Chains A and B, each alone.
Chain A
Amino acid sequence: MKLNIGAGNLPIEGYVNVDKYYYPTSSWELTNHKLAKEWIDGKYEGEWKYGDALDLKFQHNYFDEINMSHILEHLSMEEGNRAIIQAYNVLKPEGFIDIAVPDLEKACELFSTVKYKDVDNSMWFYVMGMIYGTTGKDGEGQFHHCGYSRYHLKILMEDNKFKNIIEVHGAPYHKPELNFCLRGYK
């Protein structure tokens, strides 16, 4: 069994997809048209469930794999820690978790190169969006409350007993030069 925490508008086939918020519109068609349509029509019979990353209602040692893509930055530092503990508990021994986040270190690096100009500020707003999340049109869940570098995420995972942490490829729609994904084993 595989769990996708914070599926948002990107449910993954073959996973138990859970999210705290419901996203009826936006960019679904870009990703998985079939699932998106079923979800919108309320006919989706797959493994999508309401689920809060801070309160996972699954039995312990249940999943082989967990995907947590672009969730951690939407939680405060303290909540992020709790979410990782929750994920660890529902993961089977030898199972692994993939955690993808925007690269705050890269965002800060980029920020010092983009200047706010009178004419075109699109890059400035893009980098600010990497740091603080979107402008909020999709609701409170879209804001970033924290940011991570590879170094910080690795420490956070190790502090919560994950082992053999390696970097893996994240989802292809998140630019690899601006985001990263770490895998850790229970």
Chain B
Amino acid sequence: MATEMNYKHYMRPKDKGLKLHLGCGDYWFDGYINIDSNVYGGTDMIYDIRQKLPFQNGVVEIIEAHDVFEHFNQGEANNLIAEFKRLLIDDGMLILSMPDMDELVNHYSIDKDKAIQYIYGIVDNPGHKWGYTQDSLKKLFEDKGFKEVNVIKGEVAWRKGEKKLILSCKK
């Protein structure tokens, strides 16, 4: 009898799950599993997120990925979105940030050399494969069935001064 009670006690609640930080780089998030394909200062788990992630369906309550999404081509991005849906619990949160394509292109008329670096991500490897604007990003995630899709123009605390798009939505 005692065994059964203990077993129930250790079941994972339906509304709680893991927290994943994908493409973490040097930025380690407390309480998250910080995943990157390379060993950086923040890496807990070395994994190429273009592969199916080694987690059960619907066990993640929040996924964050910053300056990651633009490094994938459109096919890879679609696969990744399908993975987000598979991993998240119902109402689970997805938060992404990435460069604002409108800003990158506007920068071209100001400083061509810098703009090329920003557009193609030459400073970081393996570079940018696609870009997003406020409208295109919102539509992409709405079309994939995410709820409360919100895309704002802003910046993230650890990269002050860089104009980003910040997407938040729920499964």
Partner-B contacts on A (CB < 8 A): 76-77, 104-105, 108, 111-112, 115-118, 121, 124, 128, 131-132, 135-136, 143-147, 149, 151-152
Contacts and interface: CB of A to CB of B under 8 A. Distances in A.
Contact of B128 (A108, A111, A132, A149): A132
A146 B120 contact: yes
Interface in B117-171: 119-120, 122, 127-131, 133, 135-136, 139
Contacts of B108: 104-105, 108
Interface in B96-131: 101-102, 105-106, 108-109, 112, 115-116, 119-120, 122, 127-131
28 contacts: A77-B120, A77-B122, A104-B116, A104-B119, A105-B112, A108-B105, A108-B108, A108-B109, A108-B115, A111-B105, A112-B105, A116-B136, A116-B139, A117-B135, A118-B139, A121-B136, A128-B101, A128-B130, A131-B131, A132-B129, A135-B73, A136-B73, A136-B129, A144-B120, A146-B116, A146-B120, A146-B122, A152-B116
Nearest to B117: A77
B75 interface: yes
A24 B82 CA distance: 31
Nearest to B121: A145
A138 B117 CA distance: 25
A146 to B, nearest CB: 5
Nearest to B115: A108
B38 interface: no
Nearest to B107: A108
Contact of B119 (A116, A118, A131, A135): A131
A156 B139 CA distance: 39
Which 8 residue pairs spanning A and B have beta carbons closest together? A108-B108, A116-B135, A136-B73, A111-B105, A116-B136, A108-B105, A135-B74, A146-B120
What secondary structure prevails in chain B residues at the interface with A? Answer: helix
Contacts of B129: 132, 136, 143
Contacts of B139: 116, 118
Nearest to A110: B105
Contacts of B74: 135-136
A115 B106 CA distance: 14
A145 B136 contact: no
Contacts of A151: 112
A102 to B, nearest CB: 13
A112 B106 contact: yes
Contact of A132 (B106, B130, B133): B130
B60 to A, nearest CB: 27
Contacts of B75: 135-136
A135 B133 CA distance: 17
Interface string B49-83: 00000000000000000000000011100000000
